[in-house]
Each structure stands twice: as C-alpha cells, then as structure tokens.
Amino acid sequence: MENEAAAKPVVIGDETDDDLRGKLLAVLEDLGAVQKSSERGVGGSQEIETTVFEVKGKKLVVEAETYEGLSLTGDKALVEDIQARIKEKT
Amino acid sequence: MAFLRKRLSKPLFDALEKAYLAGKASAHLCPVATPVGGGISRDEWATRFCEALMVAAQVVPNRTAIAESNSALLGDFSFGLYGRMCPHGVGLEADAFSQFFSGEWGDPVKFTHVEAPPDGLLRKTGVLFFCADRGRGLKAHIDLWNGEKCLGVPFRPATELFFWELHRGAGGSSFLMNAGGGNPQEEEFKKVVANFVPKEEPPPKEEQDDKPALRLAYEAEVAKLKDLIPAMRKQGFDDEAIARKLHADRRALGEKYKAQTEPKLLETIYKRNLEKYGDKLGPTVEWLRAKGKTWEQIMDSATRSGGKDLKFGK
C-alpha cells in the first residue's frame, strides 16, 4: 500500500488544459478507475477542483488549482504509469 | 456632489439564454407587469426578456426573487430614462430596452427593411430588437438570437432591426470586439475597467438551482479578463501592471461569486489558502513571482477558469 503521507502532488500540466483533462480521464477509464468523490469550489483567486479515484485498489487524487496546475497525488508507480499513458495519447 | 451612473454589463449569452428558456412565460406576478383583467396593454415578451436579463446579469439570484425585491431593480440603472417599469423595476416595453441597451452597451448593429435574417447575424448570438411600421401585433419586439433563430417568436419582418452581440462562454471571441455599431474599443474598455469591481448589490444567494448559472457567470467574467490584456497593452501598460490588475480582478471575482461554493468547502479553501499562501484569498503576486512565475504565466492563469469537469460522465 502506498504511503499517502509521503505522496506529493505531481503537476502534469496546466489546470485549464481541456485536452490534458480529456486524456487523463481517458487513461483513468482505461485503467478501470472508479470515481469516489468530486468537489469544486472558489475561494478568492483559487478555483480548486478535487476528484478522488480508486485505481487498481489505490487512491489517486486529481486536483486542478488556479496558478498551480493539474496535479496527481498517489502511489508513485501509479502516477508515473498514468503520465506515460497520457504521453502515449499525444 | 458626484452622481455615479450604475451600468449594466453585458451578460454572457449562455446565461441569458438559459434564464430565458427556463420559463416559457413571465413568472413575474405583479399588478402592473401582469395586470389581472386587462388594464394596460403590456408586452409579455419584454417582461419575460427582462426577467431573464436580470437573472443573467446577476441583478437578482433567480426569477422568483424579482417579485420579492424591495427595490426597483432596473430603476437602479438608467432604465427609467427610457420607459415604464413595474414597481419592482421590471421593464415593460421592448422599445425602452432598445434605448437602454444603446445607452449601456453602445450603438447596435443596424439593419433596415429586413424580411429574413440578414447574413450578418448568422452564427452570432445576442439581443435583437424589431421595429415594424406595418403588420399585426406589437410593432416593437425584443428577442434573443442564437445564431440561427429567435428564441421567443419566429423571426419577423422589420423596418428597423437592431442587434447587440453577446458572446457565449468558453472560447467566445473578444468581448472588446463585441460593441457593434462602431463603438470604439477604448470606450468599451473603459466600461470594462470601470465596472470591474464587485457590484454594490448583495452577492447571489446560495441556491442549488442557481449554481450552474452562477458558475457560468463566474467563468464568463474570468474569461472577459483576457480582453483587458490587449486593451491595456494598447494603452501602454507593461506586463507587470497588467498581471497585477488581472490578479487583483481574479481575486475580486472569487469573492463576488463565492456563493457558488458550499460554505463548508469555502471555509476549507480559505484555511488551505492561508496555510499554503499566507493569505486567505490565495497567493499574492509576490508569492507567485518568488515561485518563479512569469508575468505572462500570471496573466494566463488569472484569465482562465474551470475547463471540463474532472469526473466521469461529463
């Protein structure tokens, strides 16, 4: 099991890149991800959208935040696998 | 003593369309706007249009709030100079809207003696005003044009046809190019800058049904910020000044539209912002610069919102 406390967000691109979002969702679908929760809010300049998935029994947090980008937080191997698959879709 | 004129900004077409199509008839039950047993000749299309406009422009949170309002809604703007309103401030006449919009949004694109939609309207969206000196029914009519057809009544011949373009949300073209009728960009820019402070009216109420419209309105206003970039450059502002202006405006918009966020989540975001950035409203320009963000990157993030939802089935 991954050490969530140690997991750091990996920024994979721009927070408003719809093309990237589409590819990410397609990859997660390919991996059989199950969406566990999703919330979106705006506080000051920060628009934050957080969606939690379960992928192959592991928790993956996908987050988009103003100025910060689109990030993945979770098991290192899983995050790297997702990044590689996104790249393949390019 | 200074008198300040309160202006009505152009709403996003999507928001206006949504509010207009939400009810096929006027929901405003008012002895003047909706007289029982006759009384005055009224234009229900104008009333319905006005209701949608007030919702889309965030004057009220929803249509039912109009009748509950204690203030004359359009009376807070300059509508009273042009035509009659009911006691709640609902405009009653199409031709008054035509004059009001000319005052607020600039001269329309004008067509004369039209029998069918002019080519110049195709694929554009906005407000149409029809004026006819012949034919049956109302001689003046106000409607929405979705690029192909009117949303209220079928397109009708008109002696004069006025059009104010309103852009759709994401991907819409330049707000500053939206003046129509030869209004200079600078004038429109001044209007944008003058209006880009939180309005005096209370923020929209938290209400489940209104959240999508609120989000649309928020995203539209964020997208409009992008139009400040070329306009400010044209006026000689450098990238730092533009980035600082856009950063401040994005913060202000977040506060203006905070009702779109559940109160509990809003508190969580404020707390997170404070811990992460040392500021409840998000990173300061200095924080972003210290993290290596360029002025261009700050401008870019400040002027873009949302995107596709990060969830399946969307």
CA–CA separation, B301 and B314 (whole Å): 23
CA distances from B181 to B141, B149, B228 (A): 20, 21, 21
Q: Determine the residue of chain A that is closest to B287 in CA distance.
A: A67
pLDDT at A85 over 90: yes
Residue range A52-77, pLDDT digits in tens = 999 999 999 999 999 999 999 999 99
Three-state secondary structure readout of A9-64: CEEEECCCCHHHHHHHHHHHHHCCCEEEEEEEEEECCEEEEEEEEEECCEEEEEEE
Q: Determine the residue of chain A that is closest to B259 in CA distance.
A: A42
Chain-chain contact of B260 with A42 (C-beta, under 8 angstroms): yes
From chain B, the residues in CB contact with A54 under 8 A are: none
Residue B1 neighbours by CB under 8 Å, 6+ apart? none
Q: Output the CA angle B255-B261-B265, nearest 5 degrees.
A: 110
Chain-chain contact of B269 with A46 (C-beta, under 8 angstroms): yes
For chain B, the C-alpha Rg in angstroms (whole number) is 21
| Cα–Cα nearest to B106, from B51, B67, B164, B46 | B164
b or e along B131-146 (b: 16 or more beta carbons within 10 Å of the residue's beta carbon)? bbeeeeebebbbbbbe
Q: Determine the residue of chain B that is closest to A67 in CA distance.
A: B301
**C-beta of residue B169 within 8 angstroms of C-beta of residue B14:** yes
Query: Which residues in chain A (31-70) have CB-CB distances under 8 A to chain B?
Result: 35, 38-49, 51, 62, 64, 66-67
Provide the number of CB pairs (under 8 Å) joining chain A to chain B.
Answer: 106
Residue A51: count of CB within 10 angstroms of its CB = 22
pLDDT of residue B192: 46
pLDDT of residue A5: 47
The DSSP symbol for B194 reads H
pTM: 0.49
Per-residue pLDDT of chain B (314 residues; tens, 9 = 90+): 455 667 888 888 888 888 888 765 555 666 666 554 444 446 778 888 888 898 888 888 777 777 777 777 888 888 888 888 887 888 888 989 999 998 888 889 999 888 889 988 988 899 999 998 765 556 789 999 999 889 888 888 899 999 999 987 653 333 333 333 344 544 554 444 444 343 333 444 433 344 467 788 888 889 889 888 988 888 888 899 899 999 999 999 998 888 878 889 999 999 999 999 999 999 999 999 999 999 998 998 999 886 667 776 64
Chain-chain contact of A29 with B268 (C-beta, under 8 angstroms): no
pLDDT of residue B25: 59
Chain-chain contact of A43 with B262 (C-beta, under 8 angstroms): no
Chain-chain contact of A17 with B260 (C-beta, under 8 angstroms): no
Instruction: Look up tokens 């001689």; give the residue.
Output: B139
pLDDT of residue B169: 67
